[in-house]
Structure 1
Amino acid sequence: MDWEQLRFFLELARAGRLVIAARRMGVDHTTVSRKVQALEKDLGRPLFLREPEGYKLTEAGRALLPQVEAMESAFVGISDSLPNLGEQISGHVRIGATEGYSTLLLAEQLVELGQRFPHLKVDLLALPRAVQLSRNEADIVITLERPERGPFIITRLTDYALHLYASAGYLAAHPPITEREQLREHRFVSYVDDLLFSKELIFLDELVKTNKANLRSTSVLAQQQAVAAGAGLAILPAFAARTDPRLHRVLAGDVSFTRTFWMLMPIELKDIARMRTVWNFLREQADAQQLVLLPTQSEQEET
């Protein structure tokens, strides 16, 4: 029995499935199976029950788990005190986040993460829907909804601003907009109601009562492209729209929304060095991007 075998045991106990444990360890699922079987052979007893829905701990496995977790915590503490930590951090981390945040901010930030920790492998799930921790779709999730319950570590990552935008061509071809009431006469680009993954993305009801969402999309980036092409008005994240020269803010002094990104991680992953490293990096990057996420009043003025 060695620490390498115990690491694979611990990952499979947490994941419950070979393929998920293998992804987190950055190996093939057959390697996980082989390491666990070798450990079971050394101990002379089965540690898992192989069931159709996944791997479940036997009584012997449940007895071993807290001891191995204590060993892991000690190992992490030793690693943290050593120099050149970047060379030691390895393995696989899957991050799930909203499409806009992933594409426009995280993708570039993760280049720096890779430079700091060259042996770390990262999957970025940039999806126009909620990524489910409970289904093991990701290890760390950035979402608009704060779970009310669940075995998660949760932090408020950052607030971000959203504003009303239109293209210069659209504004020139339609009646001027100087007050909210005039918005009733205009066309809007918005989300598909029955496919909306978060109530935090409901904006039009707060802004104006209208049925003129003539173009709808599950993708905020598709909405931005449509607005830039003259399809109508839309509420868009400032971090996405403010640097797009095709877009102009509408009712800059009146229309503004603020939403929050929450970051979640299963509590059983909190002491894994690579998870904690990525978690801290994402918080650091969000803090550094505050002027992009929440522009100051002078930067919010309509161009």
Structure 2
Amino acid sequence: MDWEQLRFFLELARAGRLVIAARRMGVDHTTVSRKVQALEKSLGRPLFLREHEGYKLTEAGRALLPQVEAMESAYVGISDSLPTLGEQLSGQVRIAATEAYSTLLLAEQLAELGRRYPHLKVDLLALPRAVQLSRNEADIVITLERPERGPFIITRLTDYRLHLYGSADYLAQHPTITQVEQLSGHRFVSYVDDLLFSKELTFLDELLKNAKADLCSTSVLTQQRAVAAGAGLAILPAFAANQEPRLRQVLADEISFTRTFWMLMPIELKDIARTRTVWNFLREQAAQEQTTLLPPLQHKESVDE
């Protein structure tokens, strides 16, 4: 029995659709179909029912599945014990994360991943919206919302800090802000309320009663560029805003928000070597970025000095 054919069988059994299985394997969908058909021919029985909504296992397919999963677990164990095999990881892993985390942190981290595993193909979805694992839009998702239920593996990836920022030029044109109440006379930049993909991004109500944004965008990086250009004040993630030299923290000793990034993947992918490797890599990288994600809080004493 050909292990290569069994790998394609296993991927199609998990994905339920040729195009998704092909994406994960990093091949064309015709390759998946050809490999599965060859396996079925060698076994002398159909393993899938081809239906309009996708591929479903036959009785023979359901009987074969746990045996192939056991073979996969054995292979993963060998890969873990022999690093040279791990370096040959191949196939595709699709990661979805919030726009700022993807652009400012993951992009560089994935360059290192590529150096470690040159045969691994990665898709990075940097989106200012929620991605649905249940729709197979991604294999690993980094999100602000922790699902209450679902067949997922979930971990708390990292906390991160946000502060109120304004540009040096904007702040120079207005009286010095020494208390929260003085913010009511300022312009704000924020998210478009009815297009928010997470309740964790509602900051203005916590900051100032009845505060309204004068400029709104679904993109936090667009908000940051607007604030740096003098459009007003905004709550921005420190790992992004602290990279912009035109920005200054406002009431740094008083205004601070902490949010959490959760990382999820479908439970059926947890024993696949490539997804587990990427999962562990992302956790490792997040741990190394703690100073960037959670910079020390500023206090009046240190500012006065």
TM range (shorter): over 0.9
Aligned to 1:13: 13
Name the CA distance, whole Å, in 1 between partners of 2:59 and 2:216.
53
Name the CA distance, whole Å, in 2 between partners of 1:215 and 1:36.
53
Following superposition, the deviation at residue 127 of structure 1 comes to 0.5
Name the CA distance, whole Å, in 1 between partners of 2:118 and 2:258.
36
Aligned to 1:183: 183
Name the CA distance, whole Å, in 1 between partners of 2:46 and 2:60.
7
Name the CA distance, whole Å, in 1 between partners of 2:218 and 2:212.
17
- Aligned-pair RMSD on alpha carbons? 1.5
Q: Secondary structure at the match of 1:41?
A: helix
Aligned to 2:198: 198
Tell whether the 8 Å contact from 1:26 to 1:91 is kept in structure 2 after alignment.
yes
Name the CA distance, whole Å, in 2 between partners of 1:28 and 1:164.
47
Aligned to 2:64: 64
Question: CA separation of 1:302/1:209 partners in 2, compared to 1, >3 Å: closer, same or farther?
Answer: farther
Aligned to 1:142: 142
- TM-score between the two structures when normalised by the length of structure 1: 0.97
Aligned to 1:171: 171
Aligned to 2:258: 258
1:221-256 deviation line (CA, Å, top 9, x unaligned)? 000000001111000000000121100000101000
Aligned to 2:131: 131
Q: Which runs of 5+ in 1 are unaligned?
A: none
1:183-242 deviation line (CA, Å, top 9, x unaligned)? 111110000011000000010010002343010000000000000011110000000001
Name the CA distance, whole Å, in 2 between partners of 1:302 and 1:210.
30
Q: Secondary structure at the match of 1:142?
A: strand
1:252-300 deviation line (CA, Å, top 9, x unaligned)? 0100000000000111111111111101100000000000000013599
Question: CA separation of 1:299/1:121 partners in 2, compared to 1, >3 Å: closer, same or farther?
Answer: farther
What letter matches 2:162 in structure 1? L
Question: CA separation of 1:15/1:299 partners in 2, compared to 1, >3 Å: closer, same or farther?
Answer: farther
Name the CA distance, whole Å, in 1 between partners of 2:144 and 2:264.
11
Tell whether the 8 Å contact from 1:48 to 1:56 is kept in structure 2 after alignment.
yes
Name the CA distance, whole Å, in 2 between partners of 1:232 and 1:302.
23
1:117-128 correspondence runs (5 A)? 117-128=117-128
Q: Secondary structure at the match of 1:284?
A: helix
1:22-71 deviation line (CA, Å, top 9, x unaligned)? 01001000000000111111111111111111111111111111111111
Matching of residue 51 in structure 1 with residue 55 in structure 2? no
What letter matches 1:176 in structure 2? T
Name the CA distance, whole Å, in 2 between partners of 1:302 and 1:129.
37
Q: Secondary structure at the match of 1:92?
A: strand
1:45-102 deviation line (CA, Å, top 9, x unaligned)? 1111111111111111111111111110011111111132443211111100000000
1:95-110 correspondence runs (5 A)? 95-110=95-110
Name the CA distance, whole Å, in 1 between partners of 2:94 and 2:297.
36
- TM-score between the two structures when normalised by the length of structure 2: 0.96
Name the CA distance, whole Å, in 1 between partners of 2:33 and 2:193.
44
Q: Secondary structure at the match of 1:134?
A: helix
Total equivalences in the alignment: 303
1:105-146 deviation line (CA, Å, top 9, x unaligned)? 000010100001111111100000111111101100100000
Matching of residue 215 in structure 1 with residue 215 in structure 2? yes
What letter matches 2:56 in structure 1? K
What letter matches 1:276 in structure 2? R
Identical counterparts, % of pairs: 83
Tell whether the 8 Å contact from 1:249 to 1:302 is kept in structure 2 after alignment.
no
